Amino acid sequence: MARFIDDLRRTHYCGQLRATDIGREVVLFGWVAHRRDFGGCVFIDLRDREGIAQVVFDTDYVAGEVERIPALLLRGEAFQEEAVVAGAHALAEEVRREWVIGVRGVVVHRGEKNKNPKLATGEIEVRVAEAVVFNRAETPPFAIEDDIATDEEVRLRHRYVDLRRGSMQRTLRLRHRLNQATRSFLSEAGAIELETPILCKYTPGGARNFLVPSRLSPGKFYALAESPQLFKQLFMVAGFDKYFQIVKCFRDEDLRLDRQPEFTQIDIEMSFIAQDDIFRLLESLMFRLFQETGIADLPALFPSGRFPQLEFAESMRRFGNDKPDLRFGLELVELTELAILHEGGGLPLAQEIVAKFANGTYRRDVPAEIVKAFVIPASAGFARPQLEAFEQGLREIKGCKGLARAKVAADGSWTQSPLSKHVSDAFRLAINEATGAKENDVICFQFGDPDVVNAALSKLRLDVAKKMGLIPQSGHGGEWRFLWVVNPPMFERTDEGGWVAAHHAFTRPADECVPLLETDPARVNCYRYDLVLNGFEIGGGSIRLHDPEVQERVFRVLGIGAVEAREKFGFLLDALRSGAPPHGGIAIGMDRLAMLATGAPTLREVIPFPKTNQGVDLMSQAPVIVDRAQLDELKVASTVPREG
RNA sequence: GGGGUGGUAGUUAAGUCGGUUAUAACGCCGGCCUGUCACGCCGGAGGCCGCGGGUUCGAGUCCCGUCCACCCCGCCA
């Protein structure tokens, strides 16, 4: 039987020791964080998941009164023997960073002069009588400290070492608390935690699926679930009434700082509820999560207990996207109607657009091209090179040709702008008034396709706010602007002039829009909602269509016939006809929520083993090429030429 | 698929107009040290300058290609 672990069991975590433990004999296990060697006396900072304790190897030390570990007391073992202490000291001379060791010793006061206020355990230290080395670790590629400058690539390659750092430990333990609080809250709310398949049937449309070949059904494939969407609706049909799950989802799409190929959702579905019931439940859930993790006092920030709601159309108009960051103002200004009123106001780009409204090519209620502006305030104090850098940033947006700028002079005239020569005085003054632009403000214009105009200006709005310091480059900056974005359009135009569901075909159209299904699909909105926090979409959901009659009308708009509907959605349609209650739900991106809550700059910081932008795990090297024999067994052939 | 930034010692970075043996800090190794806690002092080792090609008397530096990482667009209902 080994002396340590079997015989000498751990009595405390290093980080737990306090002055109240003085005089107690303890056994600690941990990693060597630092060693300070003074020859006769060696200090080691011993680290475990709870923190750091200083342990001292001192050949001269003689123990006073010691409160012995009962088993050792019973056996009549002496606290220290000279040879054992000398052995421990020799061991301490040899120890290196990140070695895993165990010590037996006594907790003593450090003495007033030697206290370390930076450590939670700084009042005490452990005088070591006996020690063991469990693992002579290789020198780590980077320091195991909270703040390191090391490139993320290196950290991911050695993730098991990176995760040893206190900041990573705290982040992942926060995720544990989020999980725990989610489970207890939703259970208390009457929801039942149910599991759904990961290996699913492939469904066309939406995100790309990862495919898994079936060995038992040669030539056939499963798809990894991109979400439990269908199954959670079936739970409602089955009468479970309220469901939740903390579930992994898989999407084979290109990655971003807030997108991983596999990610975790808090998935919820409820029956016999209205949209507002979902909102209230989620608001309470967020309150609870932020309270139990100690991240923010949301009741103080939202005294009504409710998050604000914003119409989708208003969000697009004022902010240019459907996930506005409300931590700052700088709203966009819609100028299309003004341009029509002024017949283009002398600006060629505006005149072209206005002409199409005039000749009836474009509808004013759903315009195909628009004119919009954004004002960079004079107070930002940006010089021309900075303004050009913003313009350069917009070149990332496909279809954006550039940025028309005009600097406003004291008399309201425009300078430093190609527009100033063309614009009529009346239009210029009207724009100054509409935008509220004052002396030295810079008005930025976009003309054309609303998607491009809004993408460009919403990016500009964010770029400017970050450069002005209105929001930090990343992180929450201590602000928590939750927001519901509601009532978006049900359909989008396809390139061929037809319609596709903007979200999915089973979203319920808003009651007052149902008559428009046949007459004007562009104006049909639906019971779809996104929860937004500080400019990130952290969740979304909808009230589902439970009425087969309306469902068929929606399919007709989408040009989906009975045969095709059956082929695509077969069992769901059957299920919805088998007694479907009115129902709806939502899914919250747990990783994004954790990222925002911790102020982490990327999703990778809150995922233990994340993938790179190319979907590669730098530690395991997944994905990898497999043997020909493995492919043969699956009856799968690769079209990629094999190396060698 | 497209645009951008980067890649030099274990780590983070410097490296001028193309020119001698590629620097520094931290880390690492050896030695000394009984009150340190970013210990200190003395000494030392450590390089496929991402990879491949080209220009040149000469390339970390210039050119072409390529790989990897990151940010963004498309994409992600």
Task: Provide the 3-class DSSP secondary structure of residue A607.
Answer: coil
Integer Cα distance of A268 and A277 in angstroms: 12
- Scan residues 546-565 of chain A and list those with Cβ within 7 Å of strand B: none
Contact yes or no for A527/A543 (Cβ under 8 A): yes
Residues A44-92 have pLDDT tens digits of 999 999 999 999 999 888 888 899 999 999 999 999 999 999 999 999 9
- CB atoms near residue A254 (< 10 Å): 11
Average pLDDT, chain A: 93
Residues A325-334 have pLDDT tens digits of 999 999 999 9
Contact yes or no for A426/A358 (Cβ under 8 A): no
Segment A195-205 shows an average pLDDT of: 91
**Global pTM value:** 0.93
Supply the pLDDT for residue A11. 97
Contact yes or no for A101/A95 (Cβ under 8 A): yes
Integer Cα distance of A193 and A178 in angstroms: 16
Residues A237-264 have pLDDT tens digits of 999 999 999 999 999 999 999 999 999 9
Point out the nucleotide closest to A537 (alpha carbon to C1′).
Answer: B76
Contact yes or no for A55/A123 (Cβ under 8 A): no
Integer Cα distance of A144 and A161 in angstroms: 8
Q: Is pLDDT above 60 for A583?
A: yes
| Long-range contacts at A551-554 (CB < 8 A, ≥ 24 apart) | A551/A506, A551/A576, A553/A514, A553/A517, A553/A518, A554/A490, A554/A501, A554/A505, A554/A509, A554/A517
Q: Is pLDDT above 80 for A370?
A: yes
- Scan residues 435-494 of chain A and list those with Cβ within 7 Å of strand B: 451, 455, 459
Integer Cα distance of A106 and A87 in angstroms: 17
Residue A52: φ, ψ to 5° = -125, 140
Q: Report which residue is nearest nucleotide B39 when distances run from CA to C1'.
A: A36
Integer Cα distance of A406 and A387 in angstroms: 11
Q: Is pLDDT above 50 for A644?
A: no
Integer Cα distance of A499 and A269 in angstroms: 27
Contact yes or no for A69/A76 (Cβ under 8 A): no
Nearest Cα neighbor of A435 from A312, A308, A339 is: A339
Q: Is pLDDT above 70 for A322?
A: yes
Bridge partner list, A125: A108
Residues in chain A: 644
Q: Is pLDDT above 60 for A643?
A: no
The full 3-state SS of A143-187, as one line of letters, equals CCCCCCCCCHHHHHHCHHHHCCCHHHHHHHHHHHHHHHHHHHHHH
Between A312 and A492, the more confident residue is: A312
Integer Cα distance of A468 and A481 in angstroms: 19
Question: In the numeric block, which tokens belong to residue A167?
Answer: 């900041």
Q: Is pLDDT above 80 for A299?
A: yes
Integer Cα distance of A159 and A146 in angstroms: 14
**Going by C-beta distance under 8 Å and a sequence separation of 6 or more, which residues neighbour residue A18?**
A121, A123, A124
Integer Cα distance of A548 and A554 in angstroms: 10
Strand B and A141 CB separated by under 7 Å: yes
Supply the pLDDT for residue A559. 87
Contact yes or no for A499/A492 (Cβ under 8 A): yes
Segment A103-123 shows an average pLDDT of: 95
Q: Is pLDDT above 90 for A98?
A: yes
Strand B and A58 CB separated by under 7 Å: yes
Q: Is pLDDT above 90 for A97?
A: yes
DSSP letters, A305-359, are S---EEEHHHHHHHHSSSS--TTS----EE-HHHHHHTTTTT-HHHHHHHHHHHT
Contact yes or no for A354/A343 (Cβ under 8 A): yes
Residue A211: φ, ψ to 5° = -110, 145
Q: How far is the CA of A40 from the C1' of B31 (A)?
A: 15
Q: How far is the CA of A452 from the C1' of B50 (A)?
A: 37
Nearest Cα neighbor of A554 from A503, A599, A588 is: A503
Q: How far is the CA of A294 from the C1' of B39 (A)?
A: 36
Supply the pLDDT for residue A642. 60
Supply the pLDDT for residue A531. 97
Integer Cα distance of A174 and A160 in angstroms: 18
DSSP letters, A409-460, are PTTS-EES-TTTTTS-HHHHHHHHHHHT--TT-EEEEEEE-HHHHHHHHHHH
Task: Provide the 3-class DSSP secondary structure of residue A476.
Answer: coil
Strand B and A187 CB separated by under 7 Å: no
Cα→Cα distances A459→A203, A324, A392, A455, Å: 33, 11, 12, 6
Nearest Cα neighbor of A235 from A584, A529, A590 is: A584
Is ipTM > 0.90 here? yes
Strand B and A152 CB separated by under 7 Å: yes
Q: How far is the CA of A473 from the C1' of B3 (A)?
A: 21
Contact yes or no for A327/A475 (Cβ under 8 A): no
Question: In the numeric block, which tokens belong to residue A343?
Answer: 């017949």
Burial class of residue A252 in the structure, from the number of CB atoms within 10 Å of its CB (0-12 exposed, 13-18 middle, 19+ buried): middle
Helix (H) or strand (E) holding A456: helix A450-468
Segment A149-159 shows an average pLDDT of: 95
Question: In the numeric block, which tokens belong to residue A418?
Answer: 């190609």
Q: Report which residue is nearest nucleotide B13 when distances run from CA to C1'.
A: A149
Q: Is pLDDT above 70 for A153?
A: yes
Q: How far is the CA of A617 from the C1' of B55 (A)?
A: 39
Integer Cα distance of A117 and A544 in angstroms: 57
